[in-house]
Amino acid sequence: MTVTEPTPKAAEAMTSVRIITVPADRAGQRLDNFLLGQLKGAPRSLIYKLVRSGQVRVNGGRAKAERKLEGGDEVRVPPVRLTEEGDKAGPPPSFMKRLEDAIVFEDDRLLALNKPSGVASHGGSGISFGAIETLRALRPGKTLELVHRLDRDTSGLLIVAKKRSALSELQALLREDHGAGIRKRYLTLLVGRMPDGTMTVDAPLHVGLRQGGERHVQVNPIGKESISHFSVLERKGGHSYCEVRIETGRTHQIRVHAQHLGHPVAGDDKYGDADVNKRLREQIGLKRLFLHAASLEFALDAGKTPYLINAPLADELVEVLNRLK
């Protein structure tokens, strides 16, 4: 049996194997995201389990979750039945309201969220609901896909595509010259006094795993090219409030490059200075990573439709800056 677009109800409780032909407009979509669209309500952890165990096949062969699909590919989807309890469960109303209030831009193609710190971009690894699952609950029946991801502890702009054409164009911009098609601006507080002017870090980053599966990134010649530009905006309490523009979008890039400079991000419990973090927590109440994705600039329609989307600095970070003398 070949299915192109099952109804949400049919996708939620399938008792037989389905072979789904990937529509042309889904070309380039990751396998895991495609499956999430077919198995409405299934947690991402279940999707990964199905893929890892080989129950999901692409054109008859095993595939990885990050595989980019092509139009005409045939995807084997195994039988999945979600419990009624799981079907009814959704993000808590208070959390949904919090994210609804955090939407800073929306048109017919895109939605931009000023993601709070502590909120994951998507569910998984013990997280029931991330930003994308909650936005889908806020917009039932609508197609919403993450354009990119933001670290859980980083606040700021998270862009979601409402149309497949917008997703494809933005993903192409992200691939263009290592992501130079989308100009990204961050705000951060770095420990210590940074020199005046712009400091550019051109240092390759390699993602490794520590015991327990925790990701840890370090500067390493075998890593991927990574470029960040740090500029001091203001000196506060012996520290440096900075603007950061990145040319690439590697995992933990700003945090590791800041550490490489000898001026780690304030409040960074993975790459930062534990003693300084403790003092900042006790003296001025900094209880989170001081890193915020402040603006994104890009153009759709082959450069004809420009976008400049901004997200104001989180209130708790504004208060921290005000307390620094």
Active site residues: 151
Residue 304 β-bridge partners: none
| DSSP state, residue 177 | G
Planar angle of CA 68, 165, 157, nearest 5 degrees: 85
| DSSP state, residue 276 | H
Q: What's the token pair of residue 196?
A: 């005046």
Rounded to whole angstroms, the Cα distance separating 263 from 288 reads: 17
Contact 198, 231 (CB under 8 A): yes
Rounded to whole angstroms, the Cα distance separating 126 from 256 reads: 25
Which class for 219: exposed (0-12), middle (13-18), buried (19 or more C-beta within 10 A)? middle
Q: What is the largest CA-CA distance in the chain?
A: 68
Number of helices (H) and strands (E), helices first, in the chain?
A: 10, 18
Which amino acid is it at 124?
G
